Structure 1
Amino acid sequence: MATEERRQAEQRRGDESRPAPAAWLVEHGLNGQSAVYVHVGGCWNAGKRSAPVTQQQAMQALVDHQIPACPHCRPDTELGVLD
């Protein structure tokens, strides 16, 4: 019983110390250089090659760099950036 309580306490401490997920992500291609999608943070379709970016950087990626918005999480709609 004491072991289980310790395990649960450790789990709570881990959950509390975990940083919040990024609000915006840019997913890079296999070459690591070119970006393939902009995602809303927490998108189920964001790949492992996704990096957190600021809201400003996400908007620039969509507008200035013409990186496509993820068709599933639609960051362009969230940011108010529509074609």
Structure 2
Amino acid sequence: MRTSCRLICPRLRTLETWLALTLERVRAAITDGERREVERQRGQQARPPAPEWVLQLGPDPRNVEAVHVGDCPTPRKRRRTRAMTRQQAVDALSEQVPACPLRRPDTVLGVLDQGLCRN
């Protein structure tokens, strides 16, 4: 038995409309995703390079908690940090500022070899 076009055509038109609307939403989602990816890549390119050495400050900025190697994940978890030069890191370690136990900047800088740091 054949079903008449009067019954099938409206159903197919409804399906066609729904699929067209769904396709528009999918295309919009793809466009948004591509735009976000371009923005993320621009942000990564514009980001300044990570510092070589980082000073972790306490709740009171006058209190210094530790010296970190720049790529150490520990100070990233805290907002209170300040970039330092190599010489500032050596000076801080020689003034008894604790070295990060994870990456050991005192060893990397050779401060222990010079006998400047007594941790």
TM-score relative to the length of structure 1: 0.87
Tell me the distance in 1 between the aligned counterparts of 2:38 and 2:47: 14
Structure having the higher Rg: 2
Q: Deviations over 1:7-38 (max 9, x none)?
A: 22111111100111111011111211021110
Indicate whether 1:18 and 2:47 are aligned.
Answer: yes
Greater share of residues in strand = 1
SS in 1 for 2:66: strand
**3-state SS of the aligned residue for 2:36?**
helix
Q: CA RMSD in A?
A: 1.3
Higher helix share: 2
- What's 1:45 paired with? 74
**Is 1:5 matched up with 2:34?**
yes
Q: Secondary structure in 2 aligned to 1:30?
A: coil
Equivalent position of 1:58 in the other structure: 89
TM-score by length of 2: 0.63
Q: Matches of 2:53 and 2:103 in 1, distance apart?
A: 11
Structure 2: 5+ residue stretches without partners: 1-29
Moved over 6 A (4+): none
